[in-house]
């Protein structure tokens, strides 16, 4: 993981955002970026002296864009903008989301296309490096003009107002946190307040974090499917490369390749391969895993392409062009990001739905190929993993609701000036919950599948699935009489969410 991330020389990468947001990588602003920022600021100051009004510099905002603001009121205008727009409500947004949002806004400021002073850029970097996290509330953004309220809460802290958490997680006044870190609050000048809040940084930050997690979880889904295929005496023949080549979908081929590798050399699979096997074909949840997991992979690839383009963007309104014009535009509209956030929620729900079906098959004696009902130790006395499947089913049901798109639900605001909005922030918030749900559903399948593998003894699993089973056994005991099952589910969920299950499988494949 990167220990230092440089802003302003080249566009940030997704791994840069994860490094700063989750792992507190240090941020450095490139010297050439500060020179660009200073040069552009000189243009803004020239326009500020012009008796003709210029939007965002000497006018009000939004529906008040035609109101001229005299020179002696512009500092108050900027402060009023931030204070009034810091109108979030609800639960506190996660630290990693706020740090991602701050870093992405910093990157746009460093492009030199927004017209802020270098001190603003440097102060954003200073807050990140000091571990100061403004408190942002969950509700308030319509995703157009960007994430106004969340970004305003951050700008408010840069002014030395509002509440923050320090590096230790303690809540305190922003003024006190800045003073303790030796950071002077900034009094914003012309254009600066607007430049700090017109962007898709919140929804983009959550998209990048989700893409990082979903990529890992799709590998985990392949692992879980392999364990289910193996423990339910399914066949790996349907994953053959030549069969996949008949339908050249890239994600499908990648998932099938994983399944072949994860099941390679399995004594359990070999035990029922041959003419004596009377099964014609497996159920869809086993046989079609590459098709569903692969479609999700292709959706991730599309979302990653949109995210990459957004990372290379300078989103502000008005914006300072390369030839020195100050132009209004609509680039702050979050539709490109909002759409893929919704697409990903659909893919997450479907992958989880298939996983839950594989779990249910393992617990049903009519379909599990000889395993005990609910994988119970003493049938009738023990319930085994019966209710673990209920938990997976409940999560999947919620994931289906979370898959309803937010981006089609525009609602007008700002006296009909902002009459079509993206709802991208809302899409990102529900995707975060959906990703957590997917991890838990996959964990229940892994927990169930590992118990089923143990019940196939003396037959042994493949090297990869066996390694995953051994990892799970470091946290959860094998088959036996009923135990308090919730802590075991949580333990395996932690292994899945941390990436440990995927890492063990990939390490064994080499």
Query: Where in the sequence numbering do the catalytic residues fall?
Result: 55
Backbone angles phi, psi at 70, to 5 degrees: -65, 155
Residues contacting 154, CB < 8 A, separation 6+:
98, 101, 102, 105, 134, 136, 196
Report DSSP state, residue 112. Answer: T
3-state secondary structure of 27: strand
3-state secondary structure of 234: coil
d(CA 374, CA 138): 40
d(CA 317, CA 298): 33
d(CA 353, CA 403): 12
Residues contacting 183, CB < 8 A, separation 6+:
123, 126, 127, 130, 132
d(CA 468, CA 399): 26
Helix (H) or strand (E) holding 320: strand 319-320
Tokens linked to 15: 């791994």
Q: Is the dihedral of CA 500, 504, 509, 510 positive or negative?
A: positive
3-state secondary structure of 7: strand
Q: Which residue from 259, 283, 263 is spatially nearest to 271, judged by alpha carbons?
A: 263
Tokens linked to 215: 């990529």
* Beta strands per DSSP E along 135-262: 137-139, 163-165, 171-173
The residue behind tokens 């003419």 is 275
Q: Which residue from 220, 284, 310 is spatially nearest to 492, judged by alpha carbons?
A: 220
Q: Which residue from 433, 403, 398 is spatially nearest to 296, judged by alpha carbons?
A: 403
d(CA 78, CA 85): 11
Residues contacting 465, CB < 8 A, separation 6+:
223, 226, 227, 230, 262, 263, 266, 453, 505
d(CA 428, CA 343): 11
CB under 8 Å, gap of 24 or more: what pairs does 37-42 form?
37/109, 37/110, 37/112, 37/116, 37/117, 37/118, 37/121, 38/117, 38/118, 39/112, 40/112, 40/113, 40/114, 40/115, 40/320, 41/115, 41/116, 41/117, 41/118
d(CA 221, CA 352): 8
| Maximum separation of any 2 CA atoms in the chain, in Å | 91
């Amino acid at each position: 993981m990167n220990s230092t991330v440089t802003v302003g020389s080249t566009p940030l990468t997704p791994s840069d955002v994860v490094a700063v947001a989750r792992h507190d990588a240090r941020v450095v602003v490139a010297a050439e970026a500060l020179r660009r920022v200073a040069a552009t600021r000189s243009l803004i100051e020239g326009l500020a002296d012009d008796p003709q009004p210029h939007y965002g510099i000497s006018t009000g905002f939004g529906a008040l864009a035609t109101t001229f603001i005299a020179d002696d009121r512009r500092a108050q205008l900027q402060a009023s903008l931030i204070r009034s727009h810091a109108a979030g409500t609800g639960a506190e947004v996660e630290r990693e989301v706020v740090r991602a949002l701050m870093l992405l806004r910093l990157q746009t400021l460093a492009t030199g296309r927004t017209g802020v002073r270098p001190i603003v850029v440097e102060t954003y970097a200073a807050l990140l490096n000091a571990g100061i996290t403004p408190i942002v509330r969950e509700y308030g953004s319509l995703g157009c003009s960007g994430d106004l309220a969340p970004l305003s809460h951050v700008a408010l802290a840069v002014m030395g107002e509002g509440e923050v958490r320090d590096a230790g997680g303690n809540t305190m006044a922003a003024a006190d946190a800045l003073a303790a870190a030796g950071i002077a609050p900034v009094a914003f000048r012309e254009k600066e307040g607007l430049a700090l809040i017109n962007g898709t940084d919140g929804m983009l930050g959550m998209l990048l974090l989700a893409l990082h997690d979903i990529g890992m979880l799709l590998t985990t889904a392949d692992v879980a499917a392999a364990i289910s295929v193996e423990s339910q005496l399914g066949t790996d023949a349907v994953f053959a490369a030549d069969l996949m080549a008949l339908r050249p979908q890239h994600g499908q081929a990648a998932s099938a390749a994983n399944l072949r590798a994860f099941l390679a050399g399995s004594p359990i699979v070999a035990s029922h391969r041959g003419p004596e096997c009377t099964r014609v074909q497996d159920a869809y949840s086993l046989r079609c895993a590459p098709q569903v997991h692969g479609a999700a992979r292709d959706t991730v690839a599309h979302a990653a392409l949109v995210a990459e383009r957004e990372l290379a963007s300078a989103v502000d309104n008005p914006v300072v062009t390369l030839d020195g014009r100050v132009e209004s535009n609509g680039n702050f509209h979050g539709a490109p990001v909002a759409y893929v956030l919704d697409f990903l929620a659909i893919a997450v729900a479907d992958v989880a739905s298939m996983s839950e079906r594989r779990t249910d098959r393992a617990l049903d004696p009519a379909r599990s190929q000889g395993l005990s009902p609910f994988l119970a130790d003493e049938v009738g006395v023990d319930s085994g993993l019966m209710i673990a499947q209920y938990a997976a089913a409940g999560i999947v049901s919620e994931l289906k609701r979370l898959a309803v798109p937010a981006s089609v639900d525009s609602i007008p605001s700002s006296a009909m000036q902002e009459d079509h909005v993206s709802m991208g922030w809302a899409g990102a918030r529900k995707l975060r919950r959906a990703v957590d749900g997917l991890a838990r559903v996959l964990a229940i399948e892994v927990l169930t599948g590992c118990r089923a593998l143990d019940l196939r003894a003396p037959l042994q699993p493949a090297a990869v699935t066996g390694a995953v089973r051994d990892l799970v056994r470091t946290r959860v005991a094998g088959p036996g009489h009923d135990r308090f099952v919730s802590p075991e589910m949580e333990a395996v969920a932690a292994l899945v969410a941390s990436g440990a299950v995927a890492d063990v499988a990939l390490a064994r494949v080499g």
